[in-house]
Amino acid sequence: MNDEAREKFRAKYRAGVSPNYSGLLHLSVVVLGAGSLICWGTTKLVDFKLYQLWFVVMTYIAYNLGEWASHNYWGHHKTKLFKLFYQRHTGDHHTFFVDTDMEYQMVLDWRVVIFPIYLLVLTTVAISIPGGLVSYFIFGGNYGYLFFITMTSCYLLYEVLHFSYHLQRGSVTERIFRLIPGWTYLRLFHTVHHNRDLMVEGNFNITLPLFDWIFGTLYFDANDEQKPSKGDTKPQPQ
Ligand SMILES: [Zn+2]
Ligand SMILES: [Zn+2]
């Protein structure tokens, strides 16, 4: 798809967005909603000990596998059950943004970057709560809440980081994210994923390319980060 066709797609997509849509409200609900759940979980911890963080690490590793698998198998392969996710991801998100054109142009475009709000509710009900209950009954109180807190934090981290990869270069927010060590590499990593030829091949992780590395689906050329302008990425399989 050339630039002109992409702009046409964008115009059509924007025309289909409800006039009541507010990107700021969308982002705020996700951040405040997930943030409140995390705070609630934290208040439930009793006599927390540092060694209990092993469970946070294990939960994150499990999450990272889920991030890799769901993005790969449901985001980039059409399945009956997750048809809508495939449509929103491969159909909309990957058509709207390609590796040579990654930045949102207006707040309305946030709709195609941030997950719909109901997904936070769905993952909380389907994963964080039942997983927390299982952990609670097997390992004890704190571990149940640690599972809940970690999963919700991962969801929020995914949303915030993915959003940050599509920020306008040179904006104040983008420059703040640049201060985070390793962030520019994570963004490059996701930019490479937006290459239409590579999107089904790899770079499925968003928060940390752990399972991309383990499964050999990591495409990463650090030298590209030296290039000053957007769209200069030339992914090289490792
Ligand atoms: Zn993206
Ligand atoms: Zn993708």
Residue 90 in contact with residue 196, Cβ under 8 Å? Answer: no
Ligand in nearest proximity to the CA of 212 = 2
Residue 206 in contact with residue 215, Cβ under 8 Å? Answer: no
Q: How far is the CA of 204 from the centre of ligand 2 (A)?
A: 6
Beta strand segments in 125-180, E = none
Residue 186 in contact with residue 102, Cβ under 8 Å? Answer: no
The vertex-42 CA angle with 37 and 44, nearest 5°, equals 100
Ligand in nearest proximity to the CA of 165 = 1
> What percent of the chain stands above pLDDT 90?
87
Whole-number pLDDT of residue 221: 67
Q: How far is the CA of 15 from the centre of ligand 2 (A)?
A: 23
Residue 203 in contact with residue 192, Cβ under 8 Å? Answer: yes
Q: How far are the Cα atoms of 59, 61, 124 from residue 130, in angstroms, in the given order?
A: 14, 18, 9
> What percent of the chain stands above pLDDT 70?
92
Residue 137 in contact with residue 124, Cβ under 8 Å? Answer: no
**How far is the C-alpha of 207 from the C-alpha of 220, rounded, in Å?**
15
Average pLDDT over residues 157-175: 97
Report phi then psi at 101, rounded to 5: -155, 85
Q: Percent helix, strand, coil in the chain (nearest 5)?
A: 65, 0, 30
Average pLDDT over residues 25-53: 97
List, for residues 196-231, the tens digit of each pLDDT value.
889 999 999 999 999 999 999 998 763 444 333 334
Q: How far is the CA of 175 from the centre of ligand 2 (A)?
A: 24
Q: How far is the CA of 143 from the centre of ligand 2 (A)?
A: 32
Q: How far is the CA of 194 from the centre of ligand 2 (A)?
A: 7
Residue 101 DSSP symbol: B
List, for residues 43-92, the tens digit of each pLDDT value.
999 999 999 999 999 999 999 999 999 999 999 999 999 999 999 999 99
Q: How far is the CA of 142 from the centre of ligand 2 (A)?
A: 34
User: What's the token pair of residue 178?
Assistant: 């640049």
Cα Rg of the chain (Å, integer)? 18
At a CB cut-off of 8 Å and minimum separation 6, what does 10 contact?
96, 105, 109
